[in-house]
């Protein structure tokens, strides 16, 4: 087989490997074929010269030349073969024959008659007739051709070890004596060790040919890192025996699909208990979490505690002759504008269990509302964002949504639900204001990322300085 396959491989002096080159190299290696590239490149592209491979499956002497001619990036190739050598005879395809039917066919369809042979022509006719009967019997009693399994090409020394192993195995199967057993075990061990070394060297050579340009390295890495899970046996959920026939498997799958496409029974006590248990676990996980900055919706803490904490911090800094710069912020429509997708993302980042995340997602998404004025209903509207105030999961979810607010050293953050106070200190007012301004830049990026908007009208900036009893706004 000869031709231009656009196949690149390092085995025929190419700088890279593509899918076609890899497939041809693997096929030639399995079939023990020889790759015949020309000595010079056959294509001169804008990047580098490449060699297009040529393959052959016959044992003729050859000469391949790449001719630098024509106005093209692919050079013409001249192939010279010496056909004086007799090629190898291809073996006939093996088939399995039913010899009993073959014998019965001959007995039923061939009549044995002693003919009179007077000359050579009569003899030839009788021979042809017998051959024709045998051929018909053979063709009528053959099954499908035996399947040919492509085996990996083995070097000569491995083929010799395999032949010796098979020969000693036949002797052992015939005599079953200790001597033949010992010889067979030794031959088997030698062949296995040699095959192990050969497979290891083949694996190493394949890994050495991997590169990042054609994607072979990425595919090999992905295949090694992927976890393969076994598919469990299909069983009947009611009687729990394994299913073997196709009809049993089809019935089990059909019953499962029928149970899936049924309305949910929300009045089931088991469902209510599961949801209640999940909500209780969600609250327990939040209770065990530490929210040092947040005093809102936190047990045993209130607005007064957060306010006292801020005042004590300011007084301590004033007693230390330090100035304190503070800014007080309020989130605009904090509960009504919560980004639900962002909340789910944070729950996943906090490593909550999957079923709790699914319950919260179902609780906040695909919700609609209707306005009722006396006996008139409005068109249903869809809630695209926000958490409903007063809900059983709203407060805890909002605390989690605000918990990853940026933190910087020497910056005090005090939160109470949707209100926050940010304080920084310094020896002079300028040194207290600069860190606060830097933090506000990080806070602005965080607010934009999580789609949070501040109420500018309620924003206040105050400077507390001991040298000036009048607080500056």
Q: Write out pLDDT tens, residues 91-147.
A: 555 566 778 888 888 888 887 777 788 888 888 888 888 888 888 888 877 665 555
End-to-end distance of the chain based on CA atoms, in angstroms?
89
* Model confidence pLDDT, tens digit, residues 406-451: 888 788 888 877 788 888 888 888 888 888 888 888 888 888 888 8
Q: Does residue 184 carry a pLDDT above 90?
A: yes
What residue spans in the chain does CATH classification 3.30.70.270 cover? 296-333+391-472
Top-level class of domain 296-333+391-472: alpha beta
Residue 171 tokens read as 């002797």
**Structural element, H or E, at residue 460:** strand 460-465
Q: What is the pLDDT of residue 53?
A: 44
- Please tell me the least confidently modeled range out of 48-62, 174-188, 233-247, 380-394: 48-62
**Its pTM surpasses 0.75:** no
Q: What is the pLDDT of residue 268?
A: 58
Mean pLDDT of 146-163: 76
When comparing pLDDT for 269 and 449, which is higher? Answer: 449
- Please tell me the least confidently modeled range out of 7-11, 44-48, 373-377, 441-445: 44-48
Q: What is the pLDDT of residue 172?
A: 93
Scan for tokens 């992905």, then name that residue: 222
* Model confidence pLDDT, tens digit, residues 293-321: 666 556 666 677 778 888 888 888 888 88
Q: Does residue 170 carry a pLDDT above 90?
A: yes
Residue 75 tokens read as 């050079």
Scan for tokens 């005042």, then name that residue: 311
Q: What is the pLDDT of residue 470?
A: 47
Q: Does residue 177 carry a pLDDT above 60?
A: yes
Q: Does residue 49 carry a pLDDT above 60?
A: no
């Amino acid at each position: 087989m000869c031709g231009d396959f656009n196949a690149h491989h390092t085995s025929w002096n190419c700088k890279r490997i593509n899918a076609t080159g890899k497939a041809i190299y693997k096929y030639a290696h399995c079939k023990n074929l020889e790759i015949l590239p020309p000595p010079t490149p056959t294509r001169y592209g804008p990047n580098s010269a490449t060699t297009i491979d040529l393959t052959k499956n016959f044992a003729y002497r050859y000469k391949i030349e790449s001719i630098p001619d024509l106005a093209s990036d692919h050079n013409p190739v001249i192939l010279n073969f010496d056909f004086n050598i007799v090629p190898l005879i291809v073996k006939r395809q093996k088939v399995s024959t039913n010899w009993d039917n073959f014998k019965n066919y001959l007995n039923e369809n061939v009549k044995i008659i002693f003919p009179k042979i007077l000359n050579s022509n009569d003899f030839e006719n009788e021979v042809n007739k017998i051959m024709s009967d045998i051929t018909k019997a053979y063709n009528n009693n053959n099954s499908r051709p035996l399947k040919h399994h492509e085996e990996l090409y083995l070097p000569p020394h491995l083929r010799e070890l395999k032949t010796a192993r098979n020969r000693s195995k036949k002797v052992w199967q015939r005599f079953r004596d200790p001597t033949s057993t010992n010889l067979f075990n030794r031959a088997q061990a030698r062949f296995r060790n040699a095959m192990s070394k050969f497979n290891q060297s083949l694996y190493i050579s394949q890994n050495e040919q991997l590169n990042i340009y054609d994607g072979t390295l990425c595919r090999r890495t992905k295949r090694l890192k992927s976890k393969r899970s076994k598919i469990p046996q299909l069983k009947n959920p009611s009687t729990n025996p394994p299913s073997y026939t196709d009809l049993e498997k089809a019935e089990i799958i059909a019953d499962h699909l029928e149970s899936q496409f049924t309305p949910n029974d929300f009045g089931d006590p088991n469902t209510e208990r599961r949801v209640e248990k999940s909500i209780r676990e969600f609250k327990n996980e939040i209770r065990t979490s530490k929210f040092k900055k947040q005093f809102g919706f936190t047990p045993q803490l209130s607005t007064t505690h957060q306010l006292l904490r801020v005042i004590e911090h300011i007084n301590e800094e004033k007693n230390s002759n330090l100035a304190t710069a503070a800014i007080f912020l309020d989130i605009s429509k904090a509960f009504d504008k919560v980004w639900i997708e962002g909340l789910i993302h944070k729950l996943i980042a906090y490593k909550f269990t999957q079923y709790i995340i699914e319950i919260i997602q179902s609780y906040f998404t695909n919700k609609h509302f209707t306005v009722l004025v006396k006996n008139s209903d409005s068109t249903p509207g869809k809630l695209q964002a926000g958490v409903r105030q007063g809900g059983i999961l709203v407060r805890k979810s909002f605390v989690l949504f605000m918990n990853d607010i940026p933190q910087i050293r020497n910056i005090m953050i005090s939160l109470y639900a949707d209100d926050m106070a940010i304080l920084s200190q310094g020896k002079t007012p300028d040194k207290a204001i600069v860190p606060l301004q830097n933090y506000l830049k990080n806070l602005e990026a965080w607010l934009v990322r999580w789609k949070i908007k501040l109420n500018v009208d309620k924003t206040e900036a105050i400077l507390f300085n001991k040298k000036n009893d009048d607080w500056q706004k």
